[in-house]
Amino acid sequence: MNTVKTAMLIAGMTALFMGVGFLIGGGRGMAVAFAVAAAMNLFSYWNADKMVLRMHHAREVDARTAPEYHRIVAELAARAGLPMPRVYVIENDQPNAFATGRNPQNAAVAATTGLLQRLTPEEVAGVMAHELAHVQNRDTLTMTVTATLAGAISMLGNFAFFMGGSRQNNNPLGMIGVLLAMIVAPLAAMIVQMAISRTREYSADRRGAEICGNPLWLASALGKIAGAAGRTVNYDAERNPATAHMFIVNPLNGQRMDGLFSTHPDTQNRIDALSAMAAEMGATAPARVDAPPARSGPWSGARRSPGSRKGPWG
């Protein structure tokens, strides 16, 4: 089913790309845009994960350079029945994380230093289980290709301004077509990104909670991440806003609302859903968005929080 959804998404984004080409250069512009989109789809399938990791200056780590973090990911991957993904660290004070890769055999997970320093080992496990859920659900290809094409559509809209609205460029709508290409097309691409991200986050939350064994670990992590994300600027994400939907929490503004222009569901709604799931499993003490940040990270040997159940690293 996810394969069909991915194909539909790519087709829709390609059609949008062609539409921008038509607004800029008419039939010839649409043909050129189709050729470019086809090349980008092929390139994105094989290389978009590397591009996203490079955009955010991610550094690969292993069991020697990041033993606790790497061990948590390895044991969660084993619990989920997934191949071991490549593990990356992003030097960034904002707590956040994302997954990428065209399939589980070529997946990568990345966490910021801010996340690893602020969260307990249990909370880190909840976050990484969420990212592995995206890998298992094969969301990563969809999210990565969407980021690439959305960024290209926005860039093409900017090109429209410099190319102008003259009919000598075969633009059938003149300046109106240029304005549509500059404003409407990037907005449409952004709405597609938001719809894709928001529908998949709840599913990844639930599956991630199943993988790590305690929904409250992820709920507590989301509260801390959301509280800190709005106070910490992620400069790489600001420079590459088309990748915002890939993160576990919006890296751009940390808004707490389920509005049309939010790339993620409301954090408190996600926490409430996880708390309800925890109640079904017998766990207690649901977390809140304003949960205080932890002082210890997974390198510090911090004790397990009271009431949490033993995980695969226990």
Contact 110, 83 (CB under 8 A): no
Among candidate residues 131, 210, 238, 280, the one labeled active-site is 131
Q: Which residues are annotated as a binding site?
A: 130, 134, 201
Look-up of token digits 């949008």: 16
Backbone phi and psi for residue 245, each to the nearest 5 degrees, phi listed first: -70, -10
Q: How far apart are CA 221 and CA 153, in angstroms?
A: 34
C-beta separation of 178 from 23 below 8 A? yes
Q: Where are the beta strands (DSSP E) in the chain?
A: 58-61, 86-90, 97-100, 108-112
Q: Which residues are annotated as a binding site for Zn(2+)?
A: 130, 134, 201
- Is 238 a known active-site residue? no
167, burial (CB in 10 Å: exposed 0-12, middle 13-18, buried 19+): exposed
Residue 312, classified by CB atoms within 10 Å of its CB into exposed (0-12), middle (13-18) or buried (19+), is: middle
Give the Cα separation of 25 and 290 in Å (integer).
50
Residue at token pair 């512009």: 29
Q: 136 near 80, Cβ under 8 Å?
A: yes
What would the two tokens of residue 255 be? 């808004």
Task: Tell me the sheet residues that pair with 99.
Answer: 109
Token digits of residue 22: 């038509």
Whole-number Å distance between alpha carbons of 130 and 214? 12
Within 56-138, residue ranges assigned H as helices are: 67-80, 113-118, 121-136
- DSSP of 126-153, one letter per residue? HHHHHHHHHHHTTHHHHHHHHHHHHHHH
Q: Which residues are the active-site residues?
A: 131
